[in-house]
């Protein structure tokens, strides 16, 4: 299969879906003339015109509200919040309008909105351009949250998100835009709420999200050299969360480590750990461990940011504490 960049996969999904359905439009800061801060909307203005590929003012509340009002009246908006950190500006429209309209109105409203946003650290962009705030979104009933880790997942999940009739937050790790991977050329969907086993193994389960999937896979390679066979699961969507696949794996391996880039406290790892404890407690041979960021804002200086980020090495160290070599 041909290989493309993650950002190309997103671009291709946008283009193919906009060709399929004239009710879809894309709006956000610098998405049209500038073709997106990360190049994800390359060629879309030229292809679809300014009525459907729309530069907005720097007005995040109006961007989300545009999507809410347009979706409630029959359109299928895709809007971009350039950095998910900026969701602080438009949180009311996300939390009280977009997420709740359907339930508050007794099921009447249909809100097929996709909010795309970049997330993640490692680019030396400091505290307000580096966060992974998926747990905050997952805590709000009514929203779905997708975190693709590969080009193919990005394409299949984005098309599924666009075709979904619910508000979906699609979180693109900015450290992944330039990774390459195999990806089908035709439009295809991957179901929201279905995890993928990225590496099969027998000795422990590592659940990792977004860019941390790649760290977990690297850790698994290192561990295999030390006789430890790790299974790596990427939930791909964190809301809904495929607990079933995770629990089935833990019942096989009897050990669980969760890795995400967001701060550890009250992160998605806490929810996964709780659900596994509820459903597979008797199968666990060791305490559940979490490798995640410390409870601080993302620091700027490279030495500090590198220390802040979870990594393959930190996963390996945690596994060796959980499962000493030779046991």
Partner 1 sequence: MDLSAEKLRSMYERMVTIRQFEEEGGRLSQAGRIPGALHLYVGEEAVAVGVCANLNDDDYITSTHRGHGHLVAKGGDLGRMYAELFGRVDGYCHGKGGSMHIADLDLGMLGANGIVGGGPPIAVGAAFTAKARGRGQVAVCFFGDGASNEGTLHEAANMAALYRLPVIFCCENNLYGEYTPQARHQTVVDVADRASAYNMPGVVVDGMDVMAVYEAAFEAIERARRGEGPTLLECKTYRYYDHVGVNATATYRTDDEVARWKSRDAIQSFRDRLLKQGLLDEAEDEQIQARVRQRIEEALRFAEASPLPSADQLLEDVYT
Does 97 participate in binding partner 1 (rule CB under 8 A)? yes
Nearest to 118 by CA among 60, 174, 64, 168: 174
Nearest to 216 by CA among 140, 121, 112, 292: 292
Judge whether 60 counts as a catalytic residue.
Answer: yes
> φ and ψ at 14, to 5 degrees?
-60, -45
Helix, strand or coil, per DSSP, at residue 198: strand
Element (H, E) at 114: strand 114-119
Nearer to partner 1, 143 or 298 (CB): 143
Q: Which residues pair with 208 in a beta bridge?
A: 259
Stretch that binds partner 1, among 37-45, 92-100, 125-133, 228-236 (CB under 8 A): 92-100
User: Restricting to residues 27-46, which ones interact with partner 1 according to CB under 8 A?
Assistant: none
Distance separating alpha carbons of residues 56 and 49, to the nearest angstrom: 14
Distance separating alpha carbons of residues 219 and 137, to the nearest angstrom: 28
The size of the interface with partner 1 (CB under 8 A), counted in residues, is: 42
Stretch that binds partner 1, among 102-110, 126-134, 274-282, 300-308 (CB under 8 A): 102-110
Judge whether 129 counts as a catalytic residue.
Answer: yes
Considering only 101, 145, 195, 223, the residue that binds partner 1 (CB under 8 A) is 101
Burial of 181 (0-12, 13-18, 19+ CB in 10 A): middle
Considering only 34, 43, 103, 185, the residue that binds partner 1 (CB under 8 A) is 103
Question: Token digits for 86?
Answer: 């900026």
Of 12, 17, 80, 129, which is the active-site residue?
129
Minimal distance, residue 97 CB to partner 1, in Å: 6
Helix, strand or coil, per DSSP, at residue 132: coil
Does 170 participate in binding partner 1 (rule CB under 8 A)? no
Minimal distance, residue 161 CB to partner 1, in Å: 13
User: Restricting to residues 205-234, which ones interact with partner 1 according to CB under 8 A?
Assistant: none
Nearer to partner 1, 110 or 124 (CB): 110
Interaction site with partner 1 (CB under 8 A): 25, 51, 54, 56-57, 59-62, 64-75, 77, 92-93, 96-97, 101-110, 141-142, 144, 164-166
Catalytically active residues are 60, 129
């Amino acid at each position: 299969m041909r290989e493309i960049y993650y950002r190309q996969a997103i671009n291709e999904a946008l283009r193919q879906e906009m060709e399929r359905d004239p009710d879809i439009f894309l709006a956000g800061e610098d998405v049209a003339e500038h073709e997106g801060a990360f190049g994800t909307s390359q060629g879309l203005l030229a292809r679809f015109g300014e009525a459907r590929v729309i530069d907005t003012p720097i007005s995040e509340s109006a961007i989300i509200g545009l999507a809410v009002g347009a979706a409630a009246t029959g359109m299928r908006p895709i809007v971009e919040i350039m950095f998910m950190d900026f969701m602080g500006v438009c949180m009311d429209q996300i939390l009280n309008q977009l997420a709740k309209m359907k339930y508050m109105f007794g099921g009447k409203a249909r809100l097929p909105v996709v909010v795309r946003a970049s997330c993640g650290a490692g680019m030396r962009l400091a505290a307000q351009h580096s966060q992974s705030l998926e747990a905050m979104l997952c805590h709000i009933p009514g929203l779905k949250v997708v975190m693709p880790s590969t080009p193919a997942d990005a394409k299949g999940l984005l098309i599924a998100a666009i075709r979904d009739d619910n508000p979906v937050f699609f979180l693109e790790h900015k450290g992944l835009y330039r990774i390459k991977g195999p990806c089908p050329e035709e439009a295809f969907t991957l179901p929201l709420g279905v995890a993928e086993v990225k590496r099969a193994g027998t000795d422990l389960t590592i659940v990792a999200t977004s860019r941390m999937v790649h760290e977990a896979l690297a850790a698994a390679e290192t561990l295999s050299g030390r006789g430890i066979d790790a299974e790596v699961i990427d939930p791909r969507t964190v809301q809904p969360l495929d607990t079933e696949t995770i629990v089935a794996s833990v019942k096989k391996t009897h050990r669980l480590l969760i890795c995400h880039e967001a701060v550890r406290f009250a992160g998605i790892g806490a929810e996964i750990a709780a659900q596994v404890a509820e459903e597979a407690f008797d199968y666990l041979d060791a305490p559940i461990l979490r490798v995640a960021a410390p409870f601080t804002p993302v620091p700027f200086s490279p030495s500090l940011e590198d220390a802040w980020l979870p990594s393959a090495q930190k996963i390996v160290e945690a596994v060796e504490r959980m499962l000493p070599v030779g046991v």
